Structure 1
Amino acid sequence: MNIFDVIGPVMIGPSSSHTAGAVRLGNLALAILGEPVQEAVIGLHGSFAQTYRGHGTDLALVAGLQGWATDDARIPKAFEAVEQAGIKISFKIINLGDLAHPNSVNFSLIGISGNHCKVTGVSIGGGRVCITNIDDFPVDFNGEFPAILTMHHDRPGAISLVTSVLSTHGVNVAQMKVFRKQKGGLAAMIVETDQPVDDAEFKAIGNLPHIESVRRIQLG
Structure 2
Amino acid sequence: MKYMSAFEIIGPVMVGPSSSHTAGAVRIGNLAGQLLAEKAKTVRFLLHGSFAETYRGHGTDLALLAGLMGYTTDSESIPKAFQLALMEGLEYTFEPTNLGLVHPNTVQVLAQGEHHQLDMIASSLGGGKAEVQELDGLPLRFSGERPTLILSHKDKPGFIAHLSQILDQQGYNIARLSLDRQSRHGDAITVCEIDETPSSALLKLLSTKIPDLQNIRQVWVP
Give the TM-score category using the shorter length: over 0.9
Alignment of 1:87-126 (within 5 A): 87-97=90-100, 99-111=101-113, 113-126=114-127
Pick one of 39, 44, 57 that aligns with 2:47: 44
**Higher mean Cα deviation, 122-131 or 158-167?**
158-167
Q: 1:114 deviation in Å?
A: 2.4
Alignment of 1:56-205 (within 5 A): 56-97=59-100, 99-111=101-113, 113-205=114-206
Deviation readout 1:136-167 (Å, 9 max, x if unpaired): 11110111101111111111111111111111
* Residue identity matched to 1:203: K
Deviation readout 1:19-39 (Å, 9 max, x if unpaired): 000000000111111112121
Q: Which residue is equivalent to 1:11? A: 14
* Residue identity matched to 2:60: T
CA distance in 1, matches of 2:187, 2:200: 24
Q: 1:218 deviation in Å?
A: 2.3
CA distance in 2, matches of 1:100, 1:216: 25
Q: Residue 81 of structure 2: SS of its match in structure 1?
A: helix
CA distance in 1, matches of 2:37, 2:165: 24
Q: Residue 149 of structure 1: SS of its match in structure 2?
A: strand
* Residue identity matched to 1:144: E
Q: Residue 37 of structure 1: SS of its match in structure 2?
A: coil
CA distance in 1, matches of 2:204, 2:85: 32
Gapped regions of structure 2 (runs ≥ 5): none
Pick one of 35, 38, 42 that aligns with 1:35: 38
Q: Which runs of 4+ in 1 moved over 6 A?
A: none
Q: Which residue is equivalent to 1:218? A: 220
RMSD: 1.1
Aligned length: 218
* Residue identity matched to 1:210: D
Q: Residue 148 of structure 1: SS of its match in structure 2?
A: strand
Q: Residue 143 of structure 1: SS of its match in structure 2?
A: coil
CA distance in 2, matches of 1:117, 1:56: 23
Q: Residue 58 of structure 1: SS of its match in structure 2?
A: helix
Which TM-score applies when normalising by structure 1? Answer: 0.96
* Residue identity matched to 1:201: L
Percent same amino acid among aligned pairs?
Answer: 42
Q: Residue 67 of structure 1: SS of its match in structure 2?
A: coil
